[in-house]
Amino acid sequence: MTQKRIAIFGSTGSIGRQALDVIAANPTLFSAEILTAQSNDELLIKQALDFQPNAVVIGDERKYINVKESLAHTNTKVFAGEDALEQVAAMDSYDMMLAAIVGYAGLRPTLKAIEAGKPVALANKETLVVAGDIIMRMAMEKRIPIIPVDSEHSAIFQCLVGEGKNRIEKIVLTASGGPFLGKKPNFLVNVKKDHALQHPNWSMGAKITIDSATLMNKGLEMIEAKWLFNLSHDQVQVLVHPQSIIHSMVQFEDGSIKAQMGLPDMKLPIQYAMAFPQRIQNDFPRYDFRKPNTLTFEEPDIKTFRNLALAMEALKQGGNMPCILNAANEIAVYAFLRNRIGFLDMTELVERTMARISFLPNPTLEEYFETDGEARNFAASLIHM
Ligand code: NAD
Ligand code: MG
């Protein structure tokens, strides 16, 4: 394998930092060509000094001067602002984008990378939730792979290697159940952000940690899976598996089920996506079946965790409904993180926004952008009331 130059969009986040660990451990296989961050200038500077990328982007323009001056003695080019993200994504000099920005903000740079014909290792699930049809169509036209980094989708992807055109009967996405597994609404109504930010099995950014606590994350993942693996809504199932050892499963037409397993560690799907189709040796801890252990499975409680039911509804309806769901959810999660609304209010905000914004069965990209804006404005207006 020749050295792959990776552009990490969102390098200061949980996924981005772990990707840099993978690069540091495999310097002959990978280099960091582009790094981007929204506001953490100090960490971006440190990463740039360590990895000497060709270019960095700081989203927050007020921090440009600090980054520029701190890297003045290096060969790293420094850019700032939202447009710079797209310009850099269109650059020639990298081989693969790792899309690790959180939320809708990741969509435009990823579109640019695909347009430029770059393979994408995709952590940013919101991109597919918002405009999965367009992303997958463009990737097909450009003949570039979208390789999932999300652990469940990496599991499915790994199960499908070598299966050619063999038909999938269904896939089963496993869910840890999050910190509030088994809890009921009378408990959830009083949940505060500090408690919701404690995930039992994974250490992740704040937004996805809250999404995991509400089960919205699993709903977004159902939609993500539909697009990645070209499935209909009733081929995607969710099963709660609190130990997070089976990362997901595929059931084929003959009834045979394949699962991908291991200890929960995002570095594994990250390095798999970056090195695909190769596997790389590492020293991560191994799962041991001989140790006392029990793997358990149960149906998700969608009456309590209604975000998952709403996402299933959006998945079924299609069109711009997942885009509406996603926009309202982003507003809801950030309002919850600022202690503006309660845990269960997040669901209400999403539900009311889905009922309000006009449904479009076949949106253009422009219409997805408009839908996102309208849904955000409406959801935000509910908070100010
Ligand atoms: P995070 O919050 O830790 O990091 C987000 C990164 O995006 C940071 O580098 C930040 O600077 C950047 N960013 C934030 N807002 C931005 C904006 N408006 N414009 C440009 N850049 C911006 O998030 P994370 O946990 O690393 O998750 C990143 C993505 O990967 C999410 O879509 C998440 O759903 C997905 N994902 C994460 C995990 C995980 O274990 N963390 C697992 C599966 C999928
Ligand atoms: Mg996941």
Indicate yes or no: pTM above 0.95.
Answer: yes
Question: What pLDDT does residue 28 have?
Answer: 97
123 Cα: distance to centroid of ligand 1 (angstroms): 8
Q: Which ligand is nearest to the CA of 153?
A: 2
pLDDT at 347 over 70: yes
Question: Into which CATH architecture does domain 4-148 fall?
Answer: 3-Layer(aba) Sandwich (3.40)
Percentage of the chain modeled with pLDDT above 90: 97
Q: Ligand 1 in contact with 328 (CB < 6 A)? A: no
Which of 11, 12, 15, 47 is the pocket-test mutation for ligand 1 (most atoms within 8 Å of CB)? 15
Count CB-CB contacts under 10 A for residue 160: 17
Model pLDDT for residues 210-231, shown as the tens digit of each residue: 999 999 999 999 999 999 999 9
333 vs 208: CA distance, rounded Å: 9
Provide φ and ψ at 32, rounded to 5°. Answer: -95, 110
pLDDT at 384 over 80: no
- For 199, the token pair is 């995930």
Q: Ligand 1 in contact with 264 (CB < 6 A)? A: no
Count CB-CB contacts under 10 A for residue 2: 7
Q: Where are the beta strands (DSSP E) in the chain?
A: 4-9, 30-37, 55-58, 77-80, 96-99, 120-122, 146-148, 168-175, 236-240, 246-252, 257-261
276 vs 289: CA distance, rounded Å: 27
**227: three-class secondary structure by DSSP:** helix
Ordered by start, the domain boundaries in the chain are 4-148, 164-264+286-308, 318-385
**4: three-class secondary structure by DSSP:** strand
Q: Which ligand is nearest to the CA of 204?
A: 1
**CA 301 to chain CA mean position, Å:** 23
Question: What pLDDT does residue 180 have?
Answer: 97
- In sequence order, the β-bridge partners of residue 239 are 174
306 vs 288: CA distance, rounded Å: 35
326 Cα: distance to centroid of ligand 1 (angstroms): 15
Residue 383, amino acid: I
Percentage of the chain modeled with pLDDT above 70: 100
20 vs 215: CA distance, rounded Å: 28
Distances in Å between the Cα of 338 and the Cα atoms of 334, 343, 354 are 6, 12, 23
Q: Ligand 1 in contact with 105 (CB < 6 A)? A: yes
- Mean predicted confidence (pLDDT) in 119-144: 98
276 Cα: distance to centroid of ligand 2 (angstroms): 19
Query: Nearest C-alpha to atom 42 of ligand 1 is from which residue?
Result: 150
- In sequence order, the β-bridge partners of residue 174 are 239
Q: Ligand 1 in contact with 260 (CB < 6 A)? A: no
Count CB-CB contacts under 10 A for residue 169: 13
382 Cα: distance to centroid of ligand 1 (angstroms): 26
**359: three-class secondary structure by DSSP:** coil
- For 235, the token pair is 């081929």
Q: Ligand 1 in contact with 8 (CB < 6 A)? A: no
Our CA angle for 225, 170, 208, nearest 5°, is 30
Model pLDDT for residues 237-253, shown as the tens digit of each residue: 999 999 999 999 999 99
Q: Which ligand is nearest to the CA of 152?
A: 2
Q: Ligand 1 in contact with 178 (CB < 6 A)? A: no
pLDDT at 257 over 80: yes
Which of 85, 204, 210, 329 is the pocket-test mutation for ligand 1 (most atoms within 8 Å of CB)? 204
Model pLDDT for residues 66-87, shown as the tens digit of each residue: 999 999 999 999 999 999 999 9
pLDDT at 92 over 60: yes
300 vs 39: CA distance, rounded Å: 36
318-385 is classed CATH 1.10.1740.10: yes
Residues with CB under 5 A from ligand 2 (ion): 150-152
DSSP secondary-structure letter at 298?
B
Question: What pLDDT does residue 199 have?
Answer: 83
Strand order in the sheet with 55-58: 77-80, 55-58, 30-37, 4-9, 96-99, 120-122, 146-148
72 Cα: distance to centroid of ligand 2 (angstroms): 38
Which of 60, 82, 102, 124 is the pocket-test mutation for ligand 1 (most atoms within 8 Å of CB)? 102
pLDDT at 374 over 80: yes
- Mean predicted confidence (pLDDT) in 110-137: 98
194 vs 187: CA distance, rounded Å: 15
For the chain, the farthest-separated pair of C-alpha atoms sits apart, in whole angstroms, at 61
pLDDT band at 385 (very low <50, low <70, confident <90, very high): low
Q: Ligand 1 in contact with 126 (CB < 6 A)? A: yes
DSSP secondary-structure letter at 13?
S
Q: Ligand 1 in contact with 270 (CB < 6 A)? A: no
374 Cα: distance to centroid of ligand 1 (angstroms): 23
- Mean predicted confidence (pLDDT) in 129-150: 98
Query: Nearest C-alpha to atom 39 of ligand 1 is from which residue?
Result: 204
Q: Ligand 1 in contact with 48 (CB < 6 A)? A: no
Atom of ligand 1 nearest to the CA of 217: 34
Query: Nearest C-alpha to atom 44 of ligand 1 is from which residue?
Result: 150
CB 125 within 8 A of CB 150: yes
